[in-house]
Structure 1
Amino acid sequence: MRSIKIIAAALLAASALPGVVATPAYAQAATAADSAAASKWVVDISNKVFAVLKDKSLSQNAIRGKFRGMMRESFALDEIGNKLIRRYRSQITPAQYAAYQAALPDFAINAYSDRLENYANASVQPVRTVPRGTRGDIDVYSRISRPGSQPFDAVWTVRKVGNDFRIVNITVAGINLSLTQEADFSAYIAKNGFDALVTFMKSSNAKALAA
């Protein structure tokens, strides 16, 4: 799952992933004030992540626990998960879908947990914001840097939900991570079946828990 690793780096650096029902909060176009708030929100999320990374008193399990909470609070997980399997959504049973949704958050978290320390000194600099569409989406363009590495650009597509925001997609160095991960999942399902994907995710989660 190569793109999970790409997502991992992006999540750590700057936040430190059909069937979605639009709510009234989703149906409002972003205003100039929303754009400014979205940019600040991305920076605030970054600072929270960096604080966790720099806290030497935390165990690996404690770090994972904190990141699990952060991810659930800051990512539109249901929507992201739906996008990744949208080609197969109509072909799977409710039980298969529930199993997939249950495995997805920990799978994403565990995919990048081993890389946490590498991003303890990373920083994110917002560059500009661009409203997208009429659903309250905003692209937050940023430059991510860390000592000893070349800086790279990331675009965080966030959606206003009430008075808060949720990440719905990330584009890193021109690579749309949602589309890339969708292609990876689709290839795995085409070769092995949907149940095999869920089994793989659960197995990865279990191994990470036992480590």
Structure 2
Amino acid sequence: MYLRRYILGAAAAAPMLVAMAGAARADVVSPDVAKAFIAQSGKQLVTIVNGPGTEAQKGVALRQLVNQIVAVDKVGNYVLGRYINVATPDQQQQFQALFHQLLSYNITYQINAYQGVTFTVNGAAQQGNDMVVDTTITTPGKAPADVGWAVDEVGGQPKIIDVIVAGTSLRITTRNDYASVIADHGGQVSALLTAMKGQISKLSGQ
């Protein structure tokens, strides 16, 4: 039950790039820059997934791609939300390490499900502080999925900071899920860390 929405497959045909934003304010990029960035990112994703190589090799390539195009380092600050002020420095470090590890396992876990994926960029429009690029992602045997990619300028470069599927922000639902885990255990951040370790263990087949 816990961490159920964090599985990257939740975005239908776009599992590898589902990552949530950091809490820090980022600058809005132009529509053209955002569209070009997502088009290039999608092309790289499709090339890796549909290209040659073993599952392990593709997993490594996808993890490297995600680290390049997603604001992964800011993910923890956002999804941990107000509990970042409750967590000890050691717990914060553990959380970041577990979050990156969980992302990596999810990427590898989902590879086979997305063979034959195609990626089409439609348009871009500003929503709040983000520039959201609308795309259509198609996977054999599945209905086309409309997926929005929120792009901000982070560290001087465009980065993906959210994914919107069926009008739902995955960074917000993930933050809510994480907060529920902590709240259900008396506000103990350690409960979330334990749940994340359990999810990693499950995905790694241990």
TM-score by length of 1: 0.81
Q: Which has the higher helix share?
A: 1
1:49 aligned to 34, 42, 45, which one? 45
How far did residue 102 of structure 1 move? 1.2
Partners of 2:5 and 2:173 within 8 A in 1: yes
Match 1:39 to one of 35, 38, 52: 35
Deviations 1:98-121 (A, max 9, x none): 110111122023124222122121
Q: Which runs of 5+ in 1 are unaligned?
A: none
Deviation at 1:20, TM superposition (A): 4.5
SS, match of residue 115 in structure 1? helix
Q: Give, in angstroms, the shift of residue 166 of structure 1.
A: 0.6
Per-residue deviation, residues 48-85 of structure 1 (Å, max 9, x unmatched): 12222223422x33222222211111111232221111
TM-score by length of structure 2 reads 0.83
Which sits farther off after the overlay, 119-128 or 159-168? 159-168
Describe the superposition over 1:119-163 as per-residue Cα deviations: whole angstroms up to 9, x where unpaired: 1212122221113456xx311011222222111211110112466
Alignment CA distance shift 1:197-1:132 (3 Å) = same
Q: CA RMSD in A?
A: 2.6
Q: Secondary structure at the match of 1:155?
A: strand
Gaps of 5+ in 2: none
Does the C-alpha gap of structure 1 residues 122 and 84 become closer, same or farther in structure 2, counting only changes over 3 Å? Answer: same
The secondary structure found in structure 2 opposite 1:13 is: coil
Judge conservation of contact 1:143–1:154 (CA < 8 Å) in 2.
yes
Of residues 123, 128, 133, the one that matches 1:128 is 123
Aligned pair partner of 1:156 in 149, 156, 161: 149
Question: Hey, what does 1:68 align to over in structure 2?
Answer: 63
